[in-house]
Amino acid sequence: MSAFHDLNLRALDGQELPLAPYKGQVVLVVNVASKCGLTPQYAGLEKLYQQYKGNGFTVLGVPCNQFAGQEPGSEDEIRSFCSLNYGVTFPLGSKLEVNGPGRHPLYRLLAGEGAEFPGDITWNFEKFLVGEDGRVLARFSPRTTPDDPALIQAIEKALGL
């Protein structure tokens, strides 16, 4: 199992969210926020999830409040916001830090020293495509929308479609 699949997060509802069950799936990890100009990407992420989940794909949303305080809500508020405004059904982790000394191990693996695509996360909605084996296949800027042809092509290639 890869280091990615060894990680455990906490879901917004407080339950454990181990990544081991995603072994053999393609995962798009996205740091999300409710009060960002890019927040409407939630709709496109949900559409991607619905379109490809039957092929072994999931979106993993990870709320983060490190960019201009754009995710100030409690975990209940975040869950409610995502569900009511965007119909989000893909997994959402609890808030975590993606940069700095408190960087969560998930983001140390995705973007830390020695990562395939190292460097600080630049803003909300930065995307990492993780392959079935847990290797990071691609990194996409926050401005790359969920319907961007390059992102869709990378997902379909990872899924063997």
Catalytic residue among 36, 78, 106, 121: 36
Tell me the C-alpha to C-alpha distance, in Å, between residue 79 and each of 9, 13, 63, 116, 143.
16, 8, 10, 31, 23
Token code pair at residue 79: 């869950």
Instruction: Tell me if residue 36 is catalytic.
Output: yes
Strand-pair category, 57-63 with 26-32: parallel
Task: Count CB-CB contacts under 10 A for residue 161.
Answer: 11
Closest residue by Cα to residue 146 from 98, 86, 96: 86
What are the catalytic residues?
36
